[in-house]
Amino acid sequence: MVKVGIIGATGYAGQELVRILLGHKDAEIVWYGSRSYIDQEYASVYRNMFQLVDAKCMDDNMDELSKQADVIFTATPQGLCASLVNEQILSNTKIVDLSADFRIKDVATYEKWYNLEHKSPQFIEEAVYGLCEINREDIKKARLIANPGCYTTCSILSLYPLVKERLVDVDTIIVDAKSGTSGAGRGAKVANLYCEVNESIKAYGVTTHRHTPEIEEQLGYAYDGTPLTINFTPHLVPMNRGILVTAYAKLVKDVSYEDIKAVYDKYYGKERFVRVLEKGVCPETRWVEGSNYVDVNFVIDPRTKRVVVMGAMDNLVKGAAGQAVQNMNLIMGLPEEEGLLMPPMFP
């Protein structure tokens, strides 16, 4: 039985970790860390957990936690994990960091986009980017996993086969992404009140969203090793969960539907959690809600020689907690899909 500690257990991603791990037959949560709610019943913060979780919230003492847990999930704001981690901790335990601290290899890039000094640059090199479908083998050997961002997971998985196989002009990539509101977190802000979000849609962080360099770096590895430069525009959608990515790129040669389909099948045909949809079917977030699946598909536009790529997933599952558990499974030598096979819940 894998002993698991969660720091940041009362955020939406932290709570989703709890939901998933309660159904994981080889894992047990031993630490519900939440600085804001120390000593309060976890089930009083998330009442869905009434009678299911009988524990109080703890602090974020990662040194102590590292002695008790085989794996620590840090579902915390940027900077916290980097400020707490040290060699001793990493020799005691494994860390799956759901924040951005170890996702970007170039410290300057991280510090510029996040406007934050990195407190543990010495661990960036060894950290493995935890996109399981792409870095599976490296993840298995890692001590420190940088769990990918929600937008990035969906963007990268949607575009990866096309970039990897050099079917598109990477200078023309535009990612227009739409997210449910849980992605904005559980902080009490006027902008996230029900009446402010409901019945509206908006773009935000236009040209400046922090997931941009992460997508650029990872797609760059798939291409020629150096980061791409793309446009990424996130939008806030009045729904709880779900991310939809609609991406555009110029095709570099004449290819048929079958050609591209073959490329997607090449990379995802054996992947449990990436579903390449049938011809003509557009991904919709409702079909993946509550699950670890990413649904992807594409349409070729013969008029403009562009390909329109779409991906849909649950931002809290494959975009956060589900992928984190998938990483945990890989690190701990468990079946990759353990605890993650719940079907999407609809409606």
Q: Would you name the residues annotated as active-site residues? A: 150
**Angle 208-12-88 (CA atoms, 0-180°, nearest 5)?**
85
Q: Which of 133, 124, 176 is nearest to 153 (CA)?
A: 133
Q: Does 261 bind a second copy (CB under 8 A)?
A: no
Of 88, 200, 224, 226, the residue at the interface with a second copy (CB under 8 A) is 200
Q: Does 178 bind a second copy (CB under 8 A)?
A: yes
Looking at residue 13, the DSSP 8-state letter turns out to be H
Site string for a second copy, 76-115 (x = CB under 8 A): ----------------------------------------
Of 103, 209, 210, 306, the residue at the interface with a second copy (CB under 8 A) is 306
Partners of 245 in beta bridges? 177, 311
Q: Does 301 bind a second copy (CB under 8 A)?
A: yes
Beta strand 202-203 with 306-313 is: unpaired
The nearer residue to a second copy, 228 or 334, going by C-beta atoms, is 228
Q: Does 199 bind a second copy (CB under 8 A)?
A: yes
Q: Does 52 bind a second copy (CB under 8 A)?
A: yes
The nearer residue to a second copy, 300 or 332, going by C-beta atoms, is 300
Shortest reach from residue 80's CB to a second copy, in Å: 20
Query: Which whole-number Å values give the CA distances from 287 to 153, 165, 197, 240, 326, in the listed order?
Result: 17, 28, 22, 14, 20
Shortest reach from residue 303's CB to a second copy, in Å: 6
Of 60, 133, 289, 336, the residue at the interface with a second copy (CB under 8 A) is 289
Query: Which whole-number Å values give the CA distances from 140 to 2, 129, 144, 152, 333, in the listed order?
Result: 15, 11, 10, 21, 7
Q: Does 188 bind a second copy (CB under 8 A)?
A: yes
Beta strand 243-250 with 174-179 is: antiparallel
Site string for a second copy, 119-158 (x = CB under 8 A): ----------------------------------------
280, two tokens:
């003509």
Q: Does 202 bind a second copy (CB under 8 A)?
A: yes
Helix (H/G/I), strand (E/B), else coil: 287: helix
Shortest reach from residue 311's CB to a second copy, in Å: 11
220, two tokens:
């760059």
Residues 221-260 that bind a second copy (CB under 8 A): 229-231, 233, 235, 237-242, 244, 246, 248
Q: Does 176 bind a second copy (CB under 8 A)?
A: yes
The nearer residue to a second copy, 225 or 343, going by C-beta atoms, is 343
Helix (H/G/I), strand (E/B), else coil: 6: strand
Stretch binding a second copy (CB under 8 A), from 10-18, 68-76, 116-124, 258-266: 10-18
Residues 312-341 that bind a second copy (CB under 8 A): 312, 341
Q: Which long-range contacts (CB under 8 A, 24 or more apart) does 87-94 make?
A: 88/63, 89/62, 89/63, 90/123, 90/143, 90/144, 92/66, 92/67, 93/5, 93/65, 93/66, 93/69, 94/70, 94/142, 94/143, 94/144, 94/145, 94/328, 94/331, 94/332
Helix (H/G/I), strand (E/B), else coil: 37: helix
